[in-house]
Amino acid sequence: MSHHQVLIVGGGTAGITVAAQLRRKNRTLDVAIIEPSEVHYYQPAWTLVDAGTYDQQATKKRTEDYIPSGVAWIKDRVATISGADSKVTLESGGDVTYDYLVVAPGIQIDWHKVKGLPEALGKGGVCSNYLYDQAPYTWEVLKSLKAGDKAFFTQPNTPIKCGGAPQKIMWLTADYLRRNGLQGKVDVEMMSPGTMLFGVEVFRKQLEKVQARYGSKWSHYTNLVEIRGDKNEAVFDLIDKETGEVTGQRVEHYNMIHVVPPQSAPDFVKQSDVANADGWVEVDHNTLQHTRFPNVFSLGDAAGTPNAKTGAAVRKQAPVLVANMLRVMKEDKVTDDKRYFGYTSCPLTTGYGEMLLAEFNYKNEPDPSLPINTKKPRKSMWILKKYVLPQLYWKGMLRGRA
């Protein structure tokens, strides 16, 4: 059994950012990260890879190059967490105890919850921007579309990382078709269990204009439940908008179907005593401290906070968590002035060369961070997405500087 002063579960965006900020604040801290993967991905760029406008290789780096100096790397998977015992059990069988725990393992992709999807993925027009290896195939499928084809884009009935991801690739596909004389000749349709294009009114109105520009369709109250790869058929449940009950099914033939799979908290989180009733880590929405175990904190996709799950949220959450944890270490209470109010942003690529930066908070109110109007698609925001944000990520966030 080993012990660390601060143990971080997860070496993704949230885990490494917190570790880097902790070490910058106090280099004497004994910090360890549990992370099995030797490769770290910049996933926000995968949509651009899907659309043939970004180098896939530039979205991955070696994990070891971003583990902060002085932080121990436990290259293993977590089997269980016990907040009551201040202990994490590894899949290899060992235990790691801690004084303070940060739970940041990200989100679990549940491919199997759509019948036939794992077998169909990567062939016959079935693609997804939620896997590194799949991004080039999405581009191949997109380029192969021709008059008379049908292209569907799906969103699941679960929380997902980057809530705008289903739309981004749809708008880029629609723009590609427009630029190649195929607008109106290929059916482009979003299949969503939701009730509207976007939850924040000012951004929704802009996206409705984008939809009208491309003439794409949007079917609400539909949820993908099966892919019949041998027939190029997709099966959708139809949902009653009042009761939420399934009232029937719709079967569609596709030439392209971009699937955003169901997602959930990792199983080892759901099965632990740090989880809330929905399986996410039970934390105070503002302080990010666990509501029952004061030496446990969480941020990122696995945290039980009602914000959109994005890297931008992590950038705002990390300094709050770090400040509160350091204060608890000294005085057994969180700070009075460090609070997270749900800031997140969805960089919505609405076409080649333009992007709408939707920034908002827990109250679904616009929460701008830039000194320009980002409430409509702009070329400058495309530049931000493609060139600035990746550098901010690799050289800023993961180094504890942003």
Which 3 state secondary structure label does DSSP give 37?
Answer: coil
Can you give the pLDDT of all 402 residues of the chain as single tens digits?
899 999 999 999 999 999 999 999 999 999 999 999 999 999 999 999 999 999 999 999 999 999 999 999 999 999 999 999 999 999 999 999 999 999 999 999 999 999 999 999 999 999 999 999 999 999 999 999 999 999 999 999 999 998 888 999 999 999 999 999 999 999 999 999 998 899 999 999 999 999 999 999 999 999 999 999 999 999 999 999 999 999 999 999 999 999 999 999 999 999 999 999 999 999 999 999 999 999 999 999 999 999 999 999 999 999 999 999 999 999 999 998 999 999 999 999 999 999 999 999 999 999 999 888 888 999 999 999 999 999 999 999 999 998
Q: What DSSP line would sit under 329-384, residue for residue?
A: HHHSS--SS------EEEEEEEETTEEEEEEE-TTS-B---SSS--SS-BHHHHHI
> What CA dihedral angle connects 244, 152, 389 and 178, to 10 degrees?
-130
| CATH for 111-263, options being 3.30.300.30, 3.50.50.60, 3.40.630.10, 3.10.580.10 | 3.50.50.60
Q: What are residue 275's DSSP bridge partners?
A: 281
Instruction: Express each pLDDT in 366-389 by its tens digit.
Output: 999 988 888 899 999 999 999 999
The H or E element spanning position 153 is: strand 150-154
If you search the block for the tokens 């033939």, which residue do you land on? 253
Instruction: Express each pLDDT in 137-184 by its tens digit.
Output: 999 999 999 999 999 999 999 999 988 889 999 999 999 999 999 999
Proportion of the chain in helix, strand, coil states, percent, rounded to 5: 30, 30, 40
- The superfamily in CATH containing domain 2-107+265-343 is FAD/NAD(P)-binding domain (3.50.50.60)
Residues of the chain with CATH 3.50.50.60: 2-107+265-343, 111-263
Instruction: Please identify every residue annotated as catalytic.
Output: 162, 346
In angstroms, rounded to a whole number, what is the distance separating the alpha carbons of residues 66 and 36? 14
DSSP 68: P
Q: What are residue 378's DSSP bridge partners?
A: 355
